[in-house]
Chains A and B, each alone.
Chain A
Amino acid sequence: MTFSAPLEKRFARMLQSYPQKRSALVPMLMYAQDEVGSLTDEVIAEIADRLGVTVLQVNEVIGYYSMMHKKPLGQYHVQVYTNISCMLRGGFKVWDHARKTLGIGHKQVDADGRFSLEEVECIGSCCWAPAMQVNYDYHHNVTPESFDRVINELKKGGGQ
Protein backbone atom coordinates (compact mmCIF):
# COMPACT_ATOMS: atom_id res chain seq x y z
CA MET A 1 0.00 0.00 0.00
CA THR A 2 1.09 3.61 -0.37
CA PHE A 3 0.32 6.60 1.75
CA SER A 4 -0.26 10.20 0.68
CA ALA A 5 2.66 12.02 -0.92
CA PRO A 6 3.48 14.18 2.14
CA LEU A 7 3.42 11.14 4.38
CA GLU A 8 5.61 9.14 2.00
CA LYS A 9 8.04 12.05 2.09
CA ARG A 10 8.00 12.03 5.88
CA PHE A 11 8.58 8.27 5.97
CA ALA A 12 11.45 8.52 3.50
CA ARG A 13 13.08 11.12 5.73
CA MET A 14 12.49 9.00 8.83
CA LEU A 15 14.24 6.04 7.27
CA GLN A 16 17.28 8.28 6.74
CA SER A 17 17.17 9.64 10.27
CA TYR A 18 17.91 6.58 12.34
CA PRO A 19 21.00 4.39 12.42
CA GLN A 20 18.61 1.43 12.74
CA LYS A 21 15.39 1.39 10.72
CA ARG A 22 13.32 -0.12 13.49
CA SER A 23 13.63 3.13 15.45
CA ALA A 24 11.08 4.66 13.09
CA LEU A 25 8.40 2.18 14.18
CA VAL A 26 6.55 4.18 16.85
CA PRO A 27 6.35 7.48 14.92
CA MET A 28 5.51 5.69 11.66
CA LEU A 29 2.59 3.92 13.31
CA MET A 30 1.38 7.22 14.76
CA TYR A 31 1.46 9.12 11.49
CA ALA A 32 -0.03 6.22 9.52
CA GLN A 33 -2.82 5.91 12.06
CA ASP A 34 -3.60 9.61 11.75
CA GLU A 35 -3.90 9.31 7.99
CA VAL A 36 -5.76 5.99 7.72
CA GLY A 37 -7.89 6.37 10.85
CA SER A 38 -6.69 3.26 12.62
CA LEU A 39 -3.97 0.63 12.51
CA THR A 40 -5.52 -1.81 10.06
CA ASP A 41 -3.97 -5.18 9.22
CA GLU A 42 -2.89 -3.69 5.93
CA VAL A 43 -1.07 -0.77 7.60
CA ILE A 44 0.60 -3.12 10.06
CA ALA A 45 1.81 -5.48 7.33
CA GLU A 46 3.10 -2.57 5.25
CA ILE A 47 5.06 -0.97 8.06
CA ALA A 48 6.44 -4.33 9.23
CA ASP A 49 7.65 -4.92 5.69
CA ARG A 50 9.24 -1.50 5.32
CA LEU A 51 11.11 -1.76 8.61
CA GLY A 52 12.11 -5.40 8.30
CA VAL A 53 10.30 -6.55 11.43
CA THR A 54 7.57 -9.14 11.85
CA VAL A 55 3.84 -8.42 12.11
CA LEU A 56 4.00 -9.90 15.59
CA GLN A 57 6.67 -7.41 16.63
CA VAL A 58 4.52 -4.55 15.38
CA ASN A 59 1.46 -5.87 17.20
CA GLU A 60 3.47 -6.18 20.37
CA VAL A 61 4.34 -2.50 20.15
CA ILE A 62 0.78 -1.44 19.32
CA GLY A 63 -0.50 -3.25 22.39
CA TYR A 64 1.80 -1.22 24.62
CA TYR A 65 1.10 2.38 23.62
CA SER A 66 -2.14 3.97 24.72
CA MET A 67 -2.43 6.29 21.72
CA MET A 68 -2.39 3.42 19.23
CA HIS A 69 -5.65 1.77 18.23
CA LYS A 70 -6.81 -0.83 15.75
CA LYS A 71 -10.42 0.30 15.60
CA PRO A 72 -11.38 3.70 14.23
CA LEU A 73 -12.19 6.43 16.73
CA GLY A 74 -14.75 9.14 16.08
CA GLN A 75 -13.95 11.92 13.65
CA TYR A 76 -13.45 14.00 16.78
CA HIS A 77 -11.79 12.12 19.59
CA VAL A 78 -12.63 13.99 22.78
CA GLN A 79 -10.20 13.37 25.63
CA VAL A 80 -11.02 14.70 29.07
CA TYR A 81 -8.16 14.88 31.55
CA THR A 82 -8.88 14.06 35.17
CA ASN A 83 -5.51 13.60 36.84
CA ILE A 84 -4.79 15.34 40.11
CA SER A 85 -4.48 18.99 39.01
CA CYS A 86 -7.46 18.60 36.69
CA MET A 87 -9.47 16.81 39.38
CA LEU A 88 -8.83 19.62 41.88
CA ARG A 89 -10.30 22.13 39.45
CA GLY A 90 -13.40 20.27 38.32
CA GLY A 91 -12.09 17.68 35.86
CA PHE A 92 -14.64 15.08 36.99
CA LYS A 93 -17.49 17.56 36.52
CA VAL A 94 -16.35 18.06 32.94
CA TRP A 95 -16.03 14.30 32.51
CA ASP A 96 -19.57 13.62 33.78
CA HIS A 97 -20.89 16.41 31.62
CA ALA A 98 -19.06 15.05 28.56
CA ARG A 99 -20.56 11.59 28.97
CA LYS A 100 -24.05 13.02 29.35
CA THR A 101 -23.76 15.47 26.48
CA LEU A 102 -22.23 13.06 24.01
CA GLY A 103 -24.28 10.10 25.24
CA ILE A 104 -21.28 7.78 25.19
CA GLY A 105 -18.88 6.43 27.80
CA HIS A 106 -15.17 5.85 28.19
CA LYS A 107 -13.58 4.62 24.94
CA GLN A 108 -16.90 4.56 23.08
CA VAL A 109 -17.75 5.95 19.65
CA ASP A 110 -21.15 7.46 18.88
CA ALA A 111 -23.52 5.90 16.34
CA ASP A 112 -22.55 8.05 13.36
CA GLY A 113 -18.82 7.90 14.07
CA ARG A 114 -18.64 11.64 14.72
CA PHE A 115 -17.46 11.70 18.33
CA SER A 116 -15.56 9.33 20.56
CA LEU A 117 -14.74 9.88 24.20
CA GLU A 118 -11.96 8.90 26.54
CA GLU A 119 -11.02 9.73 30.12
CA VAL A 120 -7.28 10.29 30.08
CA GLU A 121 -4.48 10.99 32.54
CA CYS A 122 -2.37 14.15 32.16
CA ILE A 123 -1.30 16.11 29.08
CA GLY A 124 0.93 18.66 30.71
CA SER A 125 -1.72 21.33 31.12
CA CYS A 126 -1.87 20.99 34.89
CA CYS A 127 -1.57 24.74 35.51
CA TRP A 128 -4.46 25.46 33.16
CA ALA A 129 -6.71 22.71 34.42
CA PRO A 130 -9.00 21.09 33.75
CA ALA A 131 -7.77 20.25 30.29
CA MET A 132 -9.27 18.60 27.27
CA GLN A 133 -7.98 17.57 23.86
CA VAL A 134 -9.97 17.09 20.69
CA ASN A 135 -7.73 15.02 18.45
CA TYR A 136 -4.44 16.93 18.89
CA ASP A 137 -6.02 20.27 19.75
CA TYR A 138 -5.65 21.60 23.30
CA HIS A 139 -8.31 23.30 25.41
CA HIS A 140 -7.48 24.78 28.80
CA ASN A 141 -9.57 25.79 31.84
CA VAL A 142 -12.52 23.76 30.58
CA THR A 143 -15.96 24.18 32.15
CA PRO A 144 -19.19 22.42 31.18
CA GLU A 145 -20.14 25.62 29.34
CA SER A 146 -16.90 25.91 27.39
CA PHE A 147 -17.13 22.19 26.64
CA ASP A 148 -20.53 22.78 25.03
CA ARG A 149 -19.15 25.65 22.96
CA VAL A 150 -16.31 23.51 21.60
CA ILE A 151 -18.63 20.61 20.77
CA ASN A 152 -21.23 22.84 19.13
CA GLU A 153 -18.55 24.42 16.95
CA LEU A 154 -17.47 20.96 15.84
CA LYS A 155 -21.05 19.90 15.15
CA LYS A 156 -21.47 22.94 12.94
CA GLY A 157 -18.47 21.73 10.99
CA GLY A 158 -16.13 24.43 12.28
CA GLY A 159 -13.02 23.75 14.27
CA GLN A 160 -10.27 21.56 12.96
Chain B
Amino acid sequence: MIYGLRDLMPGSEHEVKVISRRFDLPNSASIDTYLANEGYQAFLKARKMTQDEIIEEVKKSGLRGRGGAGFSTGMKWSFVPKNIQKPRYIVCNADESEPGTCKDRLLMQFDPHEIIEGMMIAGLAIDAHKGFIYIRGEYRFLIEIVEKAIDEAYARGWLGKNIQGTGFDFDCVAHSGAGAYECGEESALLESLEGKRGIPRIRPPFPAVAGLYQSPTILNNVETFATVPAIILKGGDWYHALGTPKNGGTKLTNISGHVKRPGCYELPLGISLRKAIYEVAGGMEGDKKIKAIIPGGSSTPMLVPDQLDTPMDFDSMAKQGTFLGSGGLVVMNEDTCMVEVALRVMRFYSHESCGWCIPCREGTTWLKKMLTRFHAGGGEERDINLINELAQAMLGRTFCPLGDAAAMPMISAVKHFRADFEAHLNGNKCPYEGRQ
Protein backbone atom coordinates (compact mmCIF):
# COMPACT_ATOMS: atom_id res chain seq x y z
CA MET B 1 0.00 0.00 0.00
CA ILE B 2 1.03 3.62 -0.39
CA TYR B 3 1.46 5.27 2.97
CA GLY B 4 0.47 8.89 3.56
CA LEU B 5 2.37 11.77 5.09
CA ARG B 6 0.96 11.24 8.60
CA ASP B 7 2.35 7.70 8.64
CA LEU B 8 5.78 8.76 7.48
CA MET B 9 6.36 12.16 9.12
CA PRO B 10 4.86 12.23 12.62
CA GLY B 11 5.80 15.92 13.01
CA SER B 12 7.68 17.83 15.71
CA GLU B 13 7.91 21.42 16.89
CA HIS B 14 11.65 21.29 16.25
CA GLU B 15 11.15 20.89 12.54
CA VAL B 16 12.10 23.68 10.14
CA LYS B 17 10.37 22.98 6.87
CA VAL B 18 12.21 24.08 3.78
CA ILE B 19 12.24 21.17 1.35
CA SER B 20 9.24 19.52 2.96
CA ARG B 21 7.18 22.72 3.14
CA ARG B 22 4.75 21.63 0.42
CA PHE B 23 4.35 18.00 1.58
CA ASP B 24 1.21 18.86 3.51
CA LEU B 25 -0.69 20.46 0.63
CA PRO B 26 -3.45 18.52 -1.09
CA ASN B 27 -2.10 16.75 -4.21
CA SER B 28 1.36 17.99 -3.30
CA ALA B 29 3.00 15.97 -6.09
CA SER B 30 0.97 17.59 -8.86
CA ILE B 31 2.34 20.33 -11.05
CA ASP B 32 -0.66 22.54 -10.27
CA THR B 33 0.07 22.51 -6.57
CA TYR B 34 3.72 23.06 -7.32
CA LEU B 35 3.13 26.03 -9.61
CA ALA B 36 0.71 27.61 -7.15
CA ASN B 37 3.36 27.43 -4.43
CA GLU B 38 6.54 28.99 -5.82
CA GLY B 39 7.13 26.06 -8.16
CA TYR B 40 9.59 26.64 -11.03
CA GLN B 41 10.05 30.28 -9.94
CA ALA B 42 13.62 29.53 -8.88
CA PHE B 43 14.34 28.21 -12.36
CA LEU B 44 13.06 31.44 -13.93
CA LYS B 45 15.15 33.47 -11.49
CA ALA B 46 18.26 31.37 -12.15
CA ARG B 47 17.74 31.74 -15.89
CA LYS B 48 18.45 35.45 -15.44
CA MET B 49 21.64 34.77 -13.46
CA THR B 50 25.04 33.90 -14.91
CA GLN B 51 26.47 30.42 -14.40
CA ASP B 52 28.98 31.76 -11.91
CA GLU B 53 26.28 33.60 -9.98
CA ILE B 54 24.24 30.41 -9.60
CA ILE B 55 27.26 28.45 -8.38
CA GLU B 56 28.27 31.29 -6.04
CA GLU B 57 24.79 31.32 -4.47
CA VAL B 58 24.92 27.57 -3.89
CA LYS B 59 28.40 27.88 -2.36
CA LYS B 60 27.21 30.65 -0.07
CA SER B 61 24.35 28.49 1.19
CA GLY B 62 26.82 26.06 2.76
CA LEU B 63 24.85 23.20 1.19
CA ARG B 64 26.79 19.96 1.56
CA GLY B 65 25.87 16.77 -0.27
CA ARG B 66 22.99 14.96 1.39
CA GLY B 67 23.96 11.54 -0.02
CA GLY B 68 26.50 10.76 2.67
CA ALA B 69 29.88 12.32 1.97
CA GLY B 70 28.87 15.90 2.76
CA PHE B 71 30.96 17.52 0.06
CA SER B 72 30.19 21.18 -0.77
CA THR B 73 27.66 21.19 -3.59
CA GLY B 74 28.70 24.59 -4.97
CA MET B 75 32.34 23.44 -5.08
CA LYS B 76 31.39 20.24 -6.87
CA TRP B 77 29.51 22.22 -9.50
CA SER B 78 32.44 24.58 -9.97
CA PHE B 79 34.72 21.65 -10.91
CA VAL B 80 32.91 21.12 -14.20
CA PRO B 81 35.32 22.43 -16.82
CA LYS B 82 33.96 25.14 -19.07
CA ASN B 83 36.17 24.32 -22.04
CA ILE B 84 35.28 20.68 -22.75
CA GLN B 85 33.27 20.49 -25.97
CA LYS B 86 31.03 17.59 -25.00
CA PRO B 87 27.42 17.30 -23.88
CA ARG B 88 27.06 17.67 -20.11
CA TYR B 89 24.75 15.65 -17.88
CA ILE B 90 22.89 16.00 -14.62
CA VAL B 91 22.41 12.76 -12.67
CA CYS B 92 20.25 12.46 -9.58
CA ASN B 93 21.12 9.66 -7.18
CA ALA B 94 17.85 8.15 -5.96
CA ASP B 95 19.29 4.74 -5.17
CA GLU B 96 18.67 5.24 -1.43
CA SER B 97 19.83 1.92 0.01
CA GLU B 98 21.99 2.73 3.02
CA PRO B 99 20.31 0.91 5.93
CA GLY B 100 18.73 3.46 8.24
CA THR B 101 17.98 5.86 5.40
CA CYS B 102 14.48 6.47 4.08
CA LYS B 103 14.21 10.17 3.25
CA ASP B 104 14.63 10.60 -0.50
CA ARG B 105 11.50 8.55 -1.00
CA LEU B 106 9.43 11.26 0.69
CA LEU B 107 10.72 13.92 -1.68
CA MET B 108 9.86 11.72 -4.64
CA GLN B 109 6.44 10.87 -3.26
CA PHE B 110 5.35 14.30 -2.08
CA ASP B 111 7.29 16.85 -4.15
CA PRO B 112 8.91 15.35 -7.27
CA HIS B 113 8.86 18.67 -9.14
CA GLU B 114 11.19 20.16 -6.53
CA ILE B 115 13.81 17.58 -7.54
CA ILE B 116 13.31 18.21 -11.24
CA GLU B 117 13.61 21.97 -10.74
CA GLY B 118 16.84 21.52 -8.78
CA MET B 119 18.26 19.45 -11.62
CA MET B 120 17.23 22.11 -14.16
CA ILE B 121 19.05 24.78 -12.16
CA ALA B 122 22.14 22.56 -12.10
CA GLY B 123 21.66 22.31 -15.87
CA LEU B 124 21.69 26.09 -16.14
CA ALA B 125 24.82 26.26 -13.99
CA ILE B 126 26.89 24.00 -16.24
CA ASP B 127 25.04 24.25 -19.55
CA ALA B 128 23.62 20.73 -19.40
CA HIS B 129 20.40 19.84 -21.16
CA LYS B 130 19.73 16.30 -20.06
CA GLY B 131 19.06 14.83 -16.62
CA PHE B 132 18.62 11.28 -15.35
CA ILE B 133 17.04 10.24 -12.06
CA TYR B 134 18.43 6.83 -11.09
CA ILE B 135 15.82 5.30 -8.78
CA ARG B 136 16.35 1.99 -7.01
CA GLY B 137 14.27 -0.76 -8.63
CA GLU B 138 12.37 -1.63 -5.44
CA TYR B 139 10.87 1.89 -5.48
CA ARG B 140 8.61 1.09 -8.46
CA PHE B 141 5.71 3.12 -7.04
CA LEU B 142 7.99 6.14 -6.79
CA ILE B 143 9.30 5.65 -10.33
CA GLU B 144 5.66 5.91 -11.40
CA ILE B 145 5.12 9.12 -9.42
CA VAL B 146 8.31 10.70 -10.78
CA GLU B 147 7.45 9.63 -14.34
CA LYS B 148 4.04 11.23 -13.97
CA ALA B 149 5.65 14.46 -12.74
CA ILE B 150 8.02 14.45 -15.71
CA ASP B 151 5.13 13.92 -18.14
CA GLU B 152 3.20 16.78 -16.55
CA ALA B 153 6.21 19.06 -16.80
CA TYR B 154 6.58 18.27 -20.52
CA ALA B 155 2.86 18.78 -21.11
CA ARG B 156 2.94 22.17 -19.41
CA GLY B 157 6.11 23.38 -21.04
CA TRP B 158 8.40 23.12 -17.99
CA LEU B 159 10.57 20.46 -19.64
CA GLY B 160 11.56 20.02 -23.27
CA LYS B 161 12.58 22.60 -25.84
CA ASN B 162 12.62 26.34 -25.16
CA ILE B 163 11.14 26.05 -21.66
CA GLN B 164 8.55 28.84 -21.12
CA GLY B 165 10.14 30.84 -23.91
CA THR B 166 13.44 31.17 -22.05
CA GLY B 167 15.42 29.53 -24.84
CA PHE B 168 16.65 26.83 -22.47
CA ASP B 169 16.14 23.14 -23.31
CA PHE B 170 16.08 20.41 -20.69
CA ASP B 171 15.06 16.75 -20.83
CA CYS B 172 14.58 14.53 -17.83
CA VAL B 173 14.32 10.74 -17.58
CA ALA B 174 13.41 8.47 -14.65
CA HIS B 175 15.58 5.34 -14.73
CA SER B 176 14.99 2.11 -12.81
CA GLY B 177 17.81 0.31 -11.03
CA ALA B 178 17.57 -3.39 -10.24
CA GLY B 179 18.65 -4.07 -6.68
CA ALA B 180 22.26 -3.24 -5.89
CA TYR B 181 23.44 -1.11 -2.98
CA GLU B 182 26.74 -0.54 -4.74
CA CYS B 183 24.91 1.32 -7.52
CA GLY B 184 24.42 4.17 -5.03
CA GLU B 185 28.18 4.77 -5.22
CA GLU B 186 28.53 7.49 -7.83
CA SER B 187 30.87 5.80 -10.30
CA ALA B 188 29.12 2.42 -10.06
CA LEU B 189 25.84 4.26 -10.64
CA LEU B 190 27.22 5.75 -13.84
CA GLU B 191 28.32 2.32 -15.04
CA SER B 192 24.86 0.97 -14.30
CA LEU B 193 23.25 3.91 -16.11
CA GLU B 194 25.37 2.97 -19.12
CA GLY B 195 23.83 -0.51 -19.06
CA LYS B 196 26.64 -2.39 -17.33
CA ARG B 197 27.39 -4.15 -14.06
CA GLY B 198 27.74 -1.63 -11.24
CA ILE B 199 31.50 -1.84 -10.82
CA PRO B 200 33.15 1.35 -9.51
CA ARG B 201 35.57 3.39 -11.59
CA ILE B 202 39.01 4.53 -10.58
CA ARG B 203 39.18 8.26 -9.77
CA PRO B 204 40.44 10.75 -10.86
CA PRO B 205 38.98 11.66 -13.26
CA PHE B 206 35.94 12.59 -11.21
CA PRO B 207 32.45 12.68 -12.74
CA ALA B 208 32.65 16.48 -13.00
CA VAL B 209 35.24 15.94 -15.74
CA ALA B 210 34.47 12.45 -17.07
CA GLY B 211 31.16 11.09 -15.82
CA LEU B 212 28.28 9.68 -17.81
CA TYR B 213 29.57 8.58 -21.25
CA GLN B 214 32.90 10.11 -20.18
CA SER B 215 31.28 13.56 -20.33
CA PRO B 216 31.22 16.25 -17.63
CA THR B 217 28.52 15.28 -15.14
CA ILE B 218 27.03 16.69 -11.97
CA LEU B 219 25.87 13.86 -9.73
CA ASN B 220 24.00 14.69 -6.55
CA ASN B 221 21.64 13.10 -4.11
CA VAL B 222 17.85 13.66 -4.38
CA GLU B 223 17.74 15.84 -1.28
CA THR B 224 20.67 17.95 -2.49
CA PHE B 225 18.89 18.80 -5.74
CA ALA B 226 15.59 19.37 -3.92
CA THR B 227 17.25 22.01 -1.74
CA VAL B 228 18.56 24.10 -4.62
CA PRO B 229 15.31 25.87 -5.63
CA ALA B 230 14.81 27.28 -2.12
CA ILE B 231 18.42 28.51 -2.07
CA ILE B 232 18.01 30.32 -5.37
CA LEU B 233 14.66 31.82 -4.37
CA LYS B 234 15.49 32.96 -0.86
CA GLY B 235 19.25 33.30 -1.10
CA GLY B 236 22.26 31.35 0.07
CA ASP B 237 22.68 33.45 3.21
CA TRP B 238 19.12 32.81 4.32
CA TYR B 239 19.59 29.07 3.90
CA HIS B 240 22.98 29.01 5.59
CA ALA B 241 21.61 30.78 8.66
CA LEU B 242 19.17 27.93 9.31
CA GLY B 243 22.04 25.62 10.24
CA THR B 244 25.43 26.07 11.89
CA PRO B 245 28.53 27.73 10.38
CA LYS B 246 29.85 25.71 7.41
CA ASN B 247 26.90 23.37 7.82
CA GLY B 248 24.10 25.32 6.23
CA GLY B 249 20.42 24.59 6.30
CA THR B 250 18.18 21.73 7.22
CA LYS B 251 18.33 17.99 6.73
CA LEU B 252 15.71 15.32 6.36
CA THR B 253 16.58 13.10 9.28
CA ASN B 254 15.37 9.54 9.77
CA ILE B 255 15.10 8.30 13.31
CA SER B 256 14.57 4.56 13.59
CA GLY B 257 15.13 1.79 16.10
CA HIS B 258 13.93 1.73 19.71
CA VAL B 259 12.40 5.20 19.91
CA LYS B 260 8.79 6.08 20.64
CA ARG B 261 8.11 8.06 17.48
CA PRO B 262 10.31 6.79 14.67
CA GLY B 263 9.93 8.70 11.43
CA CYS B 264 11.29 11.29 9.07
CA TYR B 265 11.76 14.87 10.31
CA GLU B 266 13.22 17.96 8.65
CA LEU B 267 15.59 19.32 11.28
CA PRO B 268 18.02 22.24 11.27
CA LEU B 269 21.63 21.09 11.08
CA GLY B 270 23.28 21.31 14.47
CA ILE B 271 20.43 20.05 16.63
CA SER B 272 21.86 17.77 19.31
CA LEU B 273 21.47 14.00 19.23
CA ARG B 274 19.84 14.23 22.64
CA LYS B 275 17.17 16.60 21.41
CA ALA B 276 16.58 14.56 18.27
CA ILE B 277 16.11 11.34 20.24
CA TYR B 278 14.34 12.58 23.36
CA GLU B 279 12.31 15.51 22.07
CA VAL B 280 11.79 14.97 18.36
CA ALA B 281 11.39 11.19 18.47
CA GLY B 282 9.73 11.16 21.90
CA GLY B 283 12.45 9.26 23.78
CA MET B 284 13.08 5.56 24.19
CA GLU B 285 10.36 2.96 24.02
CA GLY B 286 9.62 1.56 27.47
CA ASP B 287 11.94 4.32 28.80
CA LYS B 288 14.88 1.98 28.46
CA LYS B 289 18.48 3.24 28.38
CA ILE B 290 20.30 4.00 25.16
CA LYS B 291 23.17 1.66 24.40
CA ALA B 292 24.35 2.72 20.97
CA ILE B 293 23.53 5.18 18.20
CA ILE B 294 24.27 4.86 14.51
CA PRO B 295 24.30 8.52 13.45
CA GLY B 296 24.12 8.45 9.66
CA GLY B 297 23.28 5.08 8.16
CA SER B 298 24.79 1.68 8.88
CA SER B 299 28.22 2.56 7.51
CA THR B 300 28.93 5.27 10.10
CA PRO B 301 30.84 4.44 13.29
CA MET B 302 28.56 4.04 16.31
CA LEU B 303 28.30 6.50 19.18
CA VAL B 304 27.55 5.86 22.85
CA PRO B 305 25.36 7.78 25.34
CA ASP B 306 28.31 9.94 26.52
CA GLN B 307 28.25 11.57 23.11
CA LEU B 308 24.58 12.53 23.16
CA ASP B 309 25.29 16.25 23.25
CA THR B 310 27.01 16.18 19.87
CA PRO B 311 25.35 18.55 17.41
CA MET B 312 24.11 16.79 14.31
CA ASP B 313 26.15 18.49 11.64
CA PHE B 314 29.00 17.32 9.43
CA ASP B 315 31.87 18.92 11.35
CA SER B 316 30.71 18.07 14.88
CA MET B 317 30.16 14.45 13.92
CA ALA B 318 33.62 14.33 12.35
CA LYS B 319 35.10 15.56 15.66
CA GLN B 320 33.53 12.53 17.36
CA GLY B 321 35.16 10.25 14.77
CA THR B 322 31.98 9.52 12.87
CA PHE B 323 29.82 10.99 10.11
CA LEU B 324 26.48 12.68 9.66
CA GLY B 325 26.26 10.48 6.56
CA SER B 326 22.82 10.26 5.02
CA GLY B 327 21.05 11.36 8.19
CA GLY B 328 19.78 7.92 9.15
CA LEU B 329 19.85 7.76 12.92
CA VAL B 330 19.39 4.26 14.37
CA VAL B 331 18.92 4.16 18.13
CA MET B 332 19.47 0.96 20.11
CA ASN B 333 18.42 0.22 23.67
CA GLU B 334 20.24 -1.58 26.48
CA ASP B 335 18.80 -4.97 25.51
CA THR B 336 20.55 -4.96 22.14
CA CYS B 337 23.29 -7.51 21.43
CA MET B 338 26.06 -5.59 19.70
CA VAL B 339 27.60 -8.78 18.34
CA GLU B 340 24.33 -9.48 16.57
CA VAL B 341 24.25 -5.90 15.29
CA ALA B 342 27.80 -6.21 13.97
CA LEU B 343 26.92 -9.52 12.35
CA ARG B 344 23.78 -8.18 10.68
CA VAL B 345 25.65 -5.15 9.37
CA MET B 346 28.45 -7.34 8.02
CA ARG B 347 26.03 -9.77 6.35
CA PHE B 348 24.69 -6.76 4.46
CA TYR B 349 28.06 -5.50 3.27
CA SER B 350 29.23 -8.95 2.30
CA HIS B 351 26.04 -9.45 0.26
CA GLU B 352 26.41 -6.04 -1.39
CA SER B 353 30.15 -6.06 -2.06
CA CYS B 354 30.40 -5.99 -5.84
CA GLY B 355 33.30 -8.45 -5.76
CA TRP B 356 35.61 -6.28 -7.80
CA CYS B 357 38.41 -5.74 -5.32
CA ILE B 358 39.87 -8.36 -3.03
CA PRO B 359 40.11 -6.54 0.32
CA CYS B 360 36.39 -5.78 0.20
CA ARG B 361 35.16 -9.06 -1.24
CA GLU B 362 37.30 -11.30 0.99
CA GLY B 363 37.30 -9.01 4.01
CA THR B 364 33.52 -8.77 4.26
CA THR B 365 33.07 -12.52 3.70
CA TRP B 366 35.68 -13.44 6.28
CA LEU B 367 34.23 -11.04 8.84
CA LYS B 368 30.73 -12.33 8.23
CA LYS B 369 31.85 -15.94 8.77
CA MET B 370 33.77 -15.04 11.90
CA LEU B 371 30.90 -13.03 13.40
CA THR B 372 28.41 -15.80 12.58
CA ARG B 373 30.54 -18.33 14.45
CA PHE B 374 31.17 -15.85 17.27
CA HIS B 375 27.53 -15.01 17.82
CA ALA B 376 26.66 -18.71 17.92
CA GLY B 377 29.07 -19.18 20.83
CA GLY B 378 32.02 -20.55 18.84
CA GLY B 379 34.25 -17.53 19.39
CA GLU B 380 37.69 -17.40 20.93
CA GLU B 381 39.33 -14.56 22.85
CA ARG B 382 41.78 -13.80 20.02
CA ASP B 383 38.94 -13.41 17.53
CA ILE B 384 37.96 -10.10 19.11
CA ASN B 385 41.24 -8.47 18.18
CA LEU B 386 41.25 -10.23 14.85
CA ILE B 387 37.88 -8.68 13.93
CA ASN B 388 39.35 -5.27 14.68
CA GLU B 389 42.59 -5.99 12.80
CA LEU B 390 40.82 -7.29 9.74
CA ALA B 391 38.56 -4.26 9.60
CA GLN B 392 41.57 -1.95 10.07
CA ALA B 393 43.32 -3.74 7.22
CA MET B 394 40.42 -3.00 4.88
CA LEU B 395 40.28 0.72 5.69
CA GLY B 396 41.45 2.84 2.80
CA ARG B 397 42.58 -0.20 0.82
CA THR B 398 39.47 -0.90 -1.19
CA PHE B 399 38.65 0.30 -4.69
CA CYS B 400 35.57 2.25 -3.57
CA PRO B 401 34.35 3.35 -0.12
CA LEU B 402 32.09 0.30 0.34
CA GLY B 403 35.00 -1.41 2.05
CA ASP B 404 35.37 1.48 4.49
CA ALA B 405 31.62 1.49 5.03
CA ALA B 406 31.83 -2.14 6.11
CA ALA B 407 34.96 -1.76 8.23
CA MET B 408 34.16 1.36 10.22
CA PRO B 409 31.15 0.08 12.16
CA MET B 410 33.12 -3.10 13.09
CA ILE B 411 35.96 -1.08 14.54
CA SER B 412 33.53 0.98 16.60
CA ALA B 413 31.66 -2.14 17.75
CA VAL B 414 34.82 -3.73 19.14
CA LYS B 415 35.99 -0.44 20.65
CA HIS B 416 32.79 0.42 22.50
CA PHE B 417 31.27 -2.98 23.16
CA ARG B 418 34.10 -5.41 23.89
CA ALA B 419 32.16 -6.64 26.91
CA ASP B 420 29.38 -7.89 24.64
CA PHE B 421 31.92 -9.84 22.62
CA GLU B 422 33.47 -11.32 25.76
CA ALA B 423 30.07 -12.41 27.03
CA HIS B 424 29.76 -14.71 24.02
CA LEU B 425 33.02 -16.58 24.77
CA ASN B 426 33.38 -20.11 26.16
CA GLY B 427 30.48 -21.47 24.17
CA ASN B 428 28.01 -19.16 25.92
CA LYS B 429 24.82 -18.61 24.07
CA CYS B 430 23.88 -15.01 23.32
CA PRO B 431 23.12 -13.39 26.68
CA TYR B 432 20.59 -11.10 25.07
CA GLU B 433 18.42 -13.82 23.60
CA GLY B 434 14.75 -13.19 24.27
CA ARG B 435 15.33 -9.76 25.80
CA GLN B 436 13.90 -7.68 22.94
Contact = CB atoms under 8 A, between A and B. Distances in A.
B328 A138 contact: no
Interface string A1-43: 0000000000000000111101111110111000000000000
Among all A-B residue pairs, the 6 with the closest Cβ atoms: A67-B179, A25-B195, A22-B195, A65-B178, A66-B179, A64-B197
B193 A83 contact: no
A45 B155 CA distance: 35
| Chain A, interface residues (CB within 8 Å), range | 35 or more
A89 B335 CA distance: 12
A133 B138 contact: yes
Contact of A61 (B130, B197, B254): B197
Contacts of B178: 26, 29-30, 65-68
**B176, B178, B294: which has the most chain A beta carbons within 10 Å?**
B178
Contacts of A74: none
A60 B192 CA distance: 12
A19 B195 CA distance: 12
B351 A84 contact: no
Interface stretch (B94-102, B398-406, B415-423): B94-102
A140 B192 contact: no
Contacts of B198: 64-65
A90 to B, nearest CB: 7
B344 interface: yes
Given A122-B348, A138-B141, A53 B8 contact: no
A124 B97 contact: yes
Contacts of A22: 194-196
Nearest to B215: A19
B258 to A, nearest CB: 6
Nearest to A150: B1
A121 B351 contact: yes
Nearest to A64: B197
Nearest to A18: B173
A60 B195 CA distance: 11
A148 B314 CA distance: 43
Interface in B44-77: none
A75 interface: no
Interface in B94-144: 96-102, 104-105, 130, 136-141
B193 to A, nearest CB: 6
A22 B140 CA distance: 21
A84 B254 contact: no
A29 B298 CA distance: 30
Given A65-B179, A84-B341, A88-B336, A127 B255 contact: yes
B194 A127 contact: no
B175 interface: yes
B81 interface: no
Contact of B137 (A61, A67, A138): A67
